[in-house]
């Protein structure tokens, strides 16, 4: 009887010791891997920004992506209400998604103001400028997000220096159904965005995702994109998120401030 008790106690001690060692190992690995995971997330984001801006990041090594990013991409934090640059905030550490969750640093959206279905919008966000070596703007890369059918799609929209023509649109995170809404990642669909124009002559957002396909002969074709087959709801989500981020609640104020800085100034002779 006593030897039975001894063996149960021994089994319990061994089980306890094994689980202690295992938990120390798991906790240690999590702590050790956290900075590596963070670095990989950062690298994926940088690669995605480059690809959407037309720089084929897939073919670059991790170090080349970092070097290109450091040399040619300038990040800035923008106040979405005023369109001003917040030079007191560091774009490398500022977390716009965290800010969007905090009532102190975000605004609540409701009804027709929340067509992207994001509930809260951060006051400040980070934008990226792809610059030539002399500092000239080659592409402006804006973060965008909005709800599809199952999930919030997070991505970037790259604009040409006319701030109207699309260079690229892509999503780095979503949970839409593969083969349906997940076709937002289809390279052919993504390529169909390039060259489309986003605004009317009066500066109002004008981009539409069309169910049944775009008629290339239509005068509106330059503002239209084919909806994804069998995924009307995700397509609508993408349409709505662009209306939101290009409009007053999104980058409207920032783009309005930037436009006059980029458009050629009338020469003294012509004046
Ligand atoms: C399992 C399942 C997954 C679906 N996933 C998506 C999706 O990711 N995005 C989407 O728009 N529709 C999805 N749908 C289809 C929608 O329910 C809806 O039928 C569709 O958006 C209508 O598009 P259509 O008018 O082009 O057929 C899914 C349907 C099922 C049954």
pLDDT in tens, 194-248: 999 999 988 899 999 999 999 999 999 999 999 999 999 999 999 999 999 999 9
Residue 253 domain-assigned (yes or no): yes
Q: Which two tokens stand for residue 88?
A: 């007191």
Whether 176 is in the pocket of ligand 1, judged by its Cβ within 6 Å, is yes
Whether 231 is in the pocket of ligand 1, judged by its Cβ within 6 Å, is yes
Q: Which helix (H) or strand (E) holds 246?
A: helix 232-246
Q: How many domains does the chain have?
A: 1
Residue 52 domain-assigned (yes or no): no
Ligand 1 atom showing the smallest separation from residue 229 Cα: 26
Top mutation candidate among 147, 181, 236 for ligand 1, by most atoms within 8 Å of CB: 181
Whether 151 is in the pocket of ligand 1, judged by its Cβ within 6 Å, is no
pLDDT value of position 270: 42
Residue 178 domain-assigned (yes or no): yes
* Residues 227, 209: Cα–Cα separation, whole Å: 5
30 or 106, higher pLDDT: 106
Q: Is 75 helix (H, G, I), strand (E, B) or coil?
A: strand
* Residues 105, 45: Cα–Cα separation, whole Å: 23
pLDDT in tens, 1-48: 566 778 888 899 999 999 998 888 888 887 777 778 888 888 889 999
Can you give the residue range of the structural domain that contains 121? 73-262
* Residues 65, 69: Cα–Cα separation, whole Å: 6
pLDDT value of position 264: 64
Find tokens 């937002």 and name the residue.
184
Residue 39 domain-assigned (yes or no): no
Residue 219 domain-assigned (yes or no): yes
Residue 127 domain-assigned (yes or no): yes
pLDDT at 269 over 60: no
pLDDT value of position 36: 84
* Residues 120, 109: Cα–Cα separation, whole Å: 5
Residue 5 domain-assigned (yes or no): no
Q: Is 118 helix (H, G, I), strand (E, B) or coil?
A: coil
Helices 62-72 and 2-52 sit at what angle, rounded to 10 degrees? Answer: 50
pLDDT in tens, 132-190: 999 999 999 999 999 999 999 999 999 999 999 999 999 999 999 999 999 999 999 99
Q: Which helix (H) or strand (E) holds 37?
A: helix 2-52
Residue 237 domain-assigned (yes or no): yes
pLDDT value of position 37: 84
Bridge pairing between strands 106-108 and 137-147: unpaired
Share of the chain above pLDDT 90, in %: 78
* Residues 99, 103: Cα–Cα separation, whole Å: 8
57 or 169, higher pLDDT: 169
Q: Whose CA is nearest to atom 4 of ligand 1?
A: 177
Per-residue confidence band for 57, with pLDDT thresholds at 50, 70 and 90: low
Per-residue confidence band for 265, with pLDDT thresholds at 50, 70 and 90: low
């Amino acid at each position: 009887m006593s030897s039975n008790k001894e063996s149960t106690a021994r089994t319990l001690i061994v089980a306890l010791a094994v689980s202690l060692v295992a938990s120390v190992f798991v906790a240690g690995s999590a702590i050790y891997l956290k900075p590596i995971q963070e670095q990989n997330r950062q690298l994926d984001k940088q690669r995605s920004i480059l690809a959407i801006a037309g720089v084929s990041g897939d073919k670059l090594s991790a170090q080349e992506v970092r070097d290109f990013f450091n040399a040619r991409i300038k990040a800035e934090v923008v106040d979405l209400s005023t369109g001003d640059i917040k030079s007191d905030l560091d774009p490398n550490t500022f977390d716009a998604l965290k800010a969007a969750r905090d009532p102190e640093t975000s605004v609540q959206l409701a009804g027709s103001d929340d067509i992207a279905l994001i509930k809260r919008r951060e006051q400040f966000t980070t934008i990226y400028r792809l610059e030539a070596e002399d500092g000239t703007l080659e592409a402006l890369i804006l973060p965008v997000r909005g709800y599809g059918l199952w999930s919030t799609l997070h991505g970037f929209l790259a604009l040409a220096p006319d701030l109207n023509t699309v260079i690229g649109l892509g999503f780095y995170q979503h949970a839409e159904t593969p083969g349906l809404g997940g076709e937002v990642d289809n390279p052919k669909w993504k390529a169909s965005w390039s060259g489309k124009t986003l605004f009317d002559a009066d500066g109002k957002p004008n981009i539409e995702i069309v169910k049944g396909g775009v008629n290339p002969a239509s005068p509106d074709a330059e503002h239209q994109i084919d909806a994804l087959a069998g995924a009307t709801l995700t397509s609508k989500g993408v349409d709505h998120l662009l209306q939101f981020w290009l409009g007053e609640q999104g980058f409207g104020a920032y783009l309005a401030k930037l436009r006059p800085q980029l458009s050629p100034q009338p020469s003294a002779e012509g004046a």
